[in-house]
Amino acid sequence: MDRNYNDQEYILFTSTNFPSGGAGASYLNLFCKGMMLHGRLVRVYLTKGYAFGINSKKTLRKNKTSDEVSYTYMGLTKRPQISFLKLIDDFLSLCYLLFVLPSIVWKRKRITILVYHTDLLPSILIYLTAYIFRVRLITLVPEYFNKVNFSGFIKKLQWHSFIFRFDHLNPLSDGLIVFSNYLRDIYVKKGIEEDRIFVQPNLTDFEFWNSFQIKEKYTIGYSGTPGKKDGLVDLFKAISLLKNKMPISLIVVGDSTFGKSLIPELEIICKQMGIGSSVHFAGLVEYDQVKIYLSQCKILAITRPRNIQTDAGFPTKLGEYMALKKPVLATDFGEVEEYFTDGKEIVIAKCNDPESIADKIRWMLNSEDLKNTIAINGCNKAHKLLEYNTSMTRIINFINGI
């Protein structure tokens, strides 16, 4: 099929928040912004309503970002928590999708479909439409979920939905943009040609995260959803090992973006460890405020365990940490060590090992000059790997080559 790439319109379908509201939203916002900066027209269709803490702001069905990216809620504009309303939301979204797909088919020579996290039924409709009518479709695959995290009937249905999309729908794509070599290797083993797969760990806006002068208030900073599976308890244990040896404090920025807060349970854990006064919880805040909190820290930490999920993904926060020109302490999960050198651009501790984490924190606090050198080296290395505008040039070249 002949295509004029400069005349292409990119239609992104996602159930993730957009343009703000978590790591996925941040990634997609930079992806679309990069597309627009390269002269590509992007429209976003959201299969789910907005969900980010207690949000009382009125949300329009059709909106535009500050970068002129149009986005439309296909169902309700706010994600409901009541089951009946969730069904209505899904039904309205499917109806809207049935309205949108014929227009995509009609303009199929000028359309490229992008898919990032959509539920099973809309995914089936989107992929079948693209397959039957030969509409170019690119799937963005950021992660692989760990089955052990899905307990209960509903959660198990979500797991099987994910696996069906991962194993059977994603391979129907003309191209895959994955976040790790781990994911690339999975799809290569499934018989997908390597030239149809592009690895881009994540995207970071270095201009936004560029650090500014502010008084340091905390020893360590952490941002993101503070779930136990993210290794935060190991960081707590490390702090408890150090609390009687040096002044130490931790600020945790983030919470569950939807539903019940994770913070009360974590506060109990901290009190049981005797570090209740050393650990502070900022809760769920917008990105501007996240930057302010993290800028007040001496060290930024990501202490994830090693498992399928952490092997398959690449954390958004790692690029953001490094863009702040702060020294980063990370555990040896996933592919971090494939990109960054321990002691030169990052400081690596052992996964699931609070003593190793504590030793590295102590070393960093006692090595001021070297710590600052590591921070600058890490920022420079991360810029080459993750800076969104340069990365989008590579991604667009990949899509055009499909």
Domain locations in the chain? 5-203+387-400, 206-386
- What is the number of residues in the chain? 402
Tokens of 377: 């080296």
Tokens of 339: 């990109």
Rounded to whole angstroms, the Cα distance separating 3 from 9 reads 11
Q: Please, are residues 251 and 280 in contact by the beta-carbon 8 Å criterion?
A: yes
Rounded to whole angstroms, the Cα distance separating 31 from 139 reads 13
66 SS3 class: coil
Burial of 108 (0-12, 13-18, 19+ CB in 10 A): middle
Rg of the chain in Å (alpha carbons): 21
Rounded to whole angstroms, the Cα distance separating 132 from 343 reads 52
pLDDT the model gives residue 51: 87
pLDDT the model gives residue 6: 63
pLDDT the model gives residue 194: 96
| Helices (H), ranges, 246-353 | 263-273, 287-295, 308-312, 316-323, 336-339
Cα–Cα nearest to 165, from 196, 201, 127: 127
pLDDT the model gives residue 358: 98
What backbone phi and psi angles, to 5 degrees, belong to 238? -65, -40
If one counts every other C-beta atom within 10 angstroms of the C-beta of residue 64, the result is 11
Which positions of the chain have pLDDT values less than 70?
1-6, 54-58
Rounded to whole angstroms, the Cα distance separating 70 from 96 reads 16
pLDDT the model gives residue 4: 55
Instruction: Give me the CATH topology for the region 206-386.
Output: Rossmann fold (3.40.50)
Its CATH class, for the domain covering 5-203+387-400, is alpha beta
Cα–Cα nearest to 182, from 82, 93, 307, 67: 307
365 SS3 class: helix
| Measured torsion, CA atoms of residues 332, 335, 338, 343, in degrees rounded to the nearest 10 | -30
If one counts every other C-beta atom within 10 angstroms of the C-beta of residue 395, the result is 22
pLDDT the model gives residue 39: 93
Q: Please, are residues 54 and 20 in contact by the beta-carbon 8 Å criterion?
A: no
Rounded to whole angstroms, the Cα distance separating 51 from 15 reads 10
pTM (2 decimals)? 0.93
pLDDT the model gives residue 229: 74
Identical fold for domains 5-203+387-400 and 206-386, yes or no, is yes
Q: Please, are residues 69 and 100 in contact by the beta-carbon 8 Å criterion?
A: no
What backbone phi and psi angles, to 5 degrees, belong to 141? -115, 100
Rounded to whole angstroms, the Cα distance separating 2 from 17 reads 34
Place of tokens 């994540």: 202
pLDDT the model gives residue 55: 59
pLDDT the model gives residue 130: 97
